[in-house]
Amino acid sequence: MYRSFARSKAHALGLVGTARNLPDGTVEIIAQGEKEKLEKFIVHLQEGSIFSRVDNVEVLWREPSADFEDFRILL
- Express each pLDDT in 14-73 by its tens digit: 999 999 999 999 999 999 999 999 999 999 999 999 999 999 999 999 998 888 999 999
Type of residue numbered 56: N
Contact in structure between 75 and 68 (CB atoms under 8 Å): no
Q: Which of 3, 20, 53, 72 is catalytic?
A: 3
Domains annotated on the chain, with CATH: 2-73 (3.30.70.100)
Distance CA 26, CA 64 (A): 22
Residue 72 — φ and ψ, nearest 5°? -125, 150
3-class SS of residue 62: coil
DSSP run (H or E) holding 6: helix 2-13
Q: Which of 20, 21, 53, 72 is catalytic?
A: 21
User: Catalytic site residue 3?
Assistant: yes
